[in-house]
A and B are shown apart, each in its own frame.
Chain A
Amino acid sequence: MGILQVQDVNKSFGGLKALHNVNLDVEEGAVHAIIGPNGAGKSTLLNCFVGRLKPDTGSVMFNGTSLLGIAPHEINQAGVARVFQTPEIFGDLSLIENVMIPTLAKRDGAYTVNAWGRVDQAAEIREKAEHILEDVGLVEKQEMHANSLSRGDKRRLELAMCLVQEPKLLLLDEPTAGMSRADTNNTIDLLKRIGERGITKIVIEHDMHVVFSLASKISVLAQGTVIAEGAPEEIKGDPRVQEAYLGGAHL
């Protein structure tokens, strides 16, 4: 049984059917890629996992408990972290603070008032945060404001914010979009390394180079429906997938 089980999820926006009877079974420890053309409903699907959207019908089970109808912070506390398509970071805060906040959230829970300690003397938390920043190659910039980062760096920061929590399930919405080839390769290496830590990952990605170097399983979404699913080699040769990608231009 998978760590995340999605059954018959439907979601409409007005007349637009963004998700249509979507089923997904994500194996523990897997890197499960979701690919598909723009507007296929990939981000919408992730939104249904983290409490940003509630599906019209269907169920989303994580480790045997439903993720529907509980608040985003509770979902995260249960072990689900997400990197968004447009980076969601604390723009006015320094990089190190950006990473310390999720570290504290993981350690102290959803609400703790520690109004007397000093952030600059919280050595344990700070070390942990610095360590992760080193992993993503941002440790030199730790005192900079997050707003001043490039788009690619913002993504890596957001990734660090998720990784520091050691989630059970990590959702990545186009984690390499806007990155140079070199940065993309670094990110692939990083994601491979954290794969060894046993974090299950769902990756939405347009870059087929990234998909085929990471994924253990691929689901193809088109117009809100899963049209194909399988190991990377199976997907590569699937004619329906080629068609959905307009004659296979991306493959």
Chain B
Amino acid sequence: MTNKITLRSDNMMMGLFALAILTMPIWLMPIGASYPDLMQKFAIFGIFAIGFNILFGLTGYLSFGHAAFLGVGSYTAVWSFKLLSMNVVPAVIFAVIVAGAFSFLIGFISLRRSGIYFSILTLAFAQMSYNLAYSVLTPITNGETGLQLAKSDPRVIDGLFVEAGAGIPSTNFFGIPMSGYSGFYFCAVLLIIGFYISLRITRSPFGMMLKAIKSNQNRMSYTGLNTRPYALTAFVISGMYAGLAGSLLAVTDPLAGAERMQWTASGEVVLMTILGGVGTLLGPMLGAVIIKYFENIFSAFNETLLNNIFSFLPEGLQEVVVSVVGLFVGEGWHLTLGILFMIIVIYLPGGLVEGAQRIRDFVGRKRQKKTSEAHQPQIAE
């Protein structure tokens, strides 16, 4: 029996989540992750994974093309900076709208199939988008170089209010520059809002319908429900989250490149969600933080650093160890990620949230034995 999910328990979770996110600069300090650039990444990819989970976790439809919407969000945001204003608000709003429209198109076609065929369709669309961005649509995307700001950009709205300065102006939230901690807090607030929306969706009648899609589509249609528009709505919502995440990447670093749309980026969000726990509320955020943290640490290692670390070993052995370990760090960090992922899928298919739950159950049962209490409820979720 699981603990009953109530409004109170949800409000509590929401409060703790917001607190944990806003105090990241403090509690991430001991592990050396409390600098804005990295925390921004946690927040942005958290948004991406939380949105992805609305589709994958609730409906069970596994998209391999969500990086396309991330890319669309980035391009839209940069164009908003170029044409309208360096204020991030219009950039974020337009990115979400355009990514939503784009995901409606791709979702409409891909959702004609389910299972592996759906996944392949989304993958194909994302690769098409990548290739379009890389070469065909160069006037819009600036191809290989990527879309960048220029001093000569029109910025029509900004032009109405301020004189153009000497250099390229920086992105701002009504004057507050989006660099350093203010940039992180802007992303953090959007992450908290995004988490809240996903919580509401999960607990809502609409969310229950999405879970029904995952559980039994046949029963759903014989029950009088039209499954396709439900799945499409979930697809578009998750596409809008991806667009938001993409725009925030551009907010903190105003350029957009095609590589953001590549299949590896789509695969990464799948990994984050599975690592943390598919279909759980906190799992995707957890997965995003862990992957981005380890990416940051492992990819920073290089040969000189490794040689320093292993300098206590005898010369021959040191070389061997460094070359073996070197496979797993730096450029090779994806190898580590792959192994981590395999371990999770094989031993903990429910992800880290399930792992935490098991540990709690185990501890709970031990304590129960000791005090011989009658009832020890399991945590929900």
Contact of A90 (CB < 8 Å), options: B5, B6, B215, B229: B215
Judging by beta carbons under 8 Å apart, are A93 and B206 in contact? Answer: no
Judging by beta carbons under 8 Å apart, are B224 and A93 in contact? Answer: no
Contact of B5 (CB < 8 Å), options: A101, A112, A116, A120: A120
Shortest beta-carbon distance, A242 to chain B, in Å?
35
Shortest beta-carbon distance, B218 to chain A, in Å?
6
Say yes or no: A118-B204 contact (C-beta < 8 A), given A76-B224, A101-B225, A143-B2.
yes
A-contact 0/1 string along B175-208, CB 8 Å cutoff: 0000000000000000000000000110111111
A73 and B209 CA atoms in complex are apart in Å by 14
B337 at the interface (CB under 8 A from A): no
B219 at the interface (CB under 8 A from A): yes
A118 and B199 CA atoms in complex are apart in Å by 10
A79 and B146 CA atoms in complex are apart in Å by 56
In the bound complex, residues from chain A placing their C-beta under 8 Å from that of B212 are: 90, 93, 101
In the complex, residue of chain B having the shortest beta-carbon distance to the beta carbon of A122: B205
In the bound complex, residues from chain A placing their C-beta under 8 Å from that of B218 are: 88
**For chain A, what secondary structure do more than half of its interface residues adopt (helix, strand, loop), or is it mixed?**
loop
In the bound complex, residues from chain B placing their C-beta under 8 Å from that of A115 are: 200-201, 204, 206-207
Interface centre among B211, B220, B221, B229 (most CB of A within 10 A): B221
B1-58, CB < 8 A from A: 1-2, 4-7
Contact of B208 (CB < 8 Å), options: A72, A84, A100, A165: A100
Shortest beta-carbon distance, A113 to chain B, in Å?
5
B223 at the interface (CB under 8 A from A): yes
A100 and B183 CA atoms in complex are apart in Å by 44
Contact of B203 (CB < 8 Å), options: A50, A72, A88, A118: A118
Shortest beta-carbon distance, B100 to chain A, in Å?
14
In the complex, residue of chain A having the shortest beta-carbon distance to the beta carbon of B221: A72
B72-98, CB < 8 A from A: none
Shortest beta-carbon distance, A88 to chain B, in Å?
4
With an 8 Å Cβ cutoff, the count of chain B residues facing the other chain is: 33
- Which listed segment binds B: A56-64, A103-111, A229-237? A103-111
A38-65, CB < 8 A from B: 50-51
**For chain B, what secondary structure do more than half of its interface residues adopt (helix, strand, loop), or is it mixed?**
helix
Contact of A88 (CB < 8 Å), options: B6, B216, B224, B225: B216
Contact of B225 (CB < 8 Å), options: A100, A111, A120: A111
A242 and B293 CA atoms in complex are apart in Å by 75
In the bound complex, residues from chain A placing their C-beta under 8 Å from that of B5 are: 120
In the bound complex, residues from chain A placing their C-beta under 8 Å from that of B4 are: 120, 143
A97 and B205 CA atoms in complex are apart in Å by 10
Judging by beta carbons under 8 Å apart, are B223 and A161 in contact? Answer: yes
Interface residue tally on A, bucketed by range: 35 or more
A103-158, CB < 8 A from B: 104-106, 108-122, 143
Contact of A104 (CB < 8 Å), options: B200, B201, B205, B233: B205
A92 at the interface (CB under 8 A from B): yes
Judging by beta carbons under 8 Å apart, are A88 and B222 in contact? Answer: yes
A127 and B215 CA atoms in complex are apart in Å by 23
A179 and B39 CA atoms in complex are apart in Å by 58
A195-244, CB < 8 A from B: none
Judging by beta carbons under 8 Å apart, are B204 and A76 in contact? Answer: no
Judging by beta carbons under 8 Å apart, are B223 and A102 in contact? Answer: yes
B334 at the interface (CB under 8 A from A): no
A82 at the interface (CB under 8 A from B): yes
In the bound complex, residues from chain A placing their C-beta under 8 Å from that of B200 are: 115-116, 118
In the bound complex, residues from chain B placing their C-beta under 8 Å from that of A184 are: none
Say yes or no: A113-B226 contact (C-beta < 8 A), given A71-B221, A88-B216.
no
Judging by beta carbons under 8 Å apart, are A82 and B222 in contact? Answer: yes
A89 at the interface (CB under 8 A from B): yes
A167-203, CB < 8 A from B: none
In the bound complex, residues from chain A placing their C-beta under 8 Å from that of B208 are: 93, 97, 100-101, 104, 119
Judging by beta carbons under 8 Å apart, are B216 and A90 in contact? Answer: yes
Judging by beta carbons under 8 Å apart, are A101 and B223 in contact? Answer: yes
A121 and B225 CA atoms in complex are apart in Å by 22
Judging by beta carbons under 8 Å apart, are B219 and A89 in contact? Answer: yes
Judging by beta carbons under 8 Å apart, are B222 and A50 in contact? Answer: yes
Shortest beta-carbon distance, A44 to chain B, in Å?
16
Shortest beta-carbon distance, B375 to chain A, in Å?
15
Say yes or no: A72-B222 contact (C-beta < 8 A), given A115-B200, A119-B208.
yes
In the bound complex, residues from chain B placing their C-beta under 8 Å from that of A73 are: 220-227
B214 at the interface (CB under 8 A from A): yes
Judging by beta carbons under 8 Å apart, are B204 and A116 in contact? Answer: yes
A77 at the interface (CB under 8 A from B): yes
Judging by beta carbons under 8 Å apart, are B215 and A92 in contact? Answer: yes
Judging by beta carbons under 8 Å apart, are A119 and B225 in contact? Answer: no
Judging by beta carbons under 8 Å apart, are B225 and A165 in contact? Answer: no
A70 and B207 CA atoms in complex are apart in Å by 27
A91 at the interface (CB under 8 A from B): yes
B125 at the interface (CB under 8 A from A): no
In the bound complex, residues from chain B placing their C-beta under 8 Å from that of A97 are: 208, 211
Contact of A114 (CB < 8 Å), options: B7, B205, B211, B229: B205
Judging by beta carbons under 8 Å apart, are B204 and A121 in contact? Answer: no
Judging by beta carbons under 8 Å apart, are B221 and A92 in contact? Answer: no
Judging by beta carbons under 8 Å apart, are B230 and A111 in contact? Answer: yes
A165 and B219 CA atoms in complex are apart in Å by 14
Say yes or no: A114-B216 contact (C-beta < 8 A), given A71-B226, A92-B211.
no
Judging by beta carbons under 8 Å apart, are B225 and A118 in contact? Answer: no
Which 8 pairs from chain A and chain B are nearest by CB? A76-B224, A90-B215, A105-B224, A72-B221, A110-B226, A115-B206, A88-B219, A114-B205
What are some 5 contacts across the A-B interface (CB < 8 A)?
A73-B222, A90-B211, A101-B225, A110-B224, A119-B207
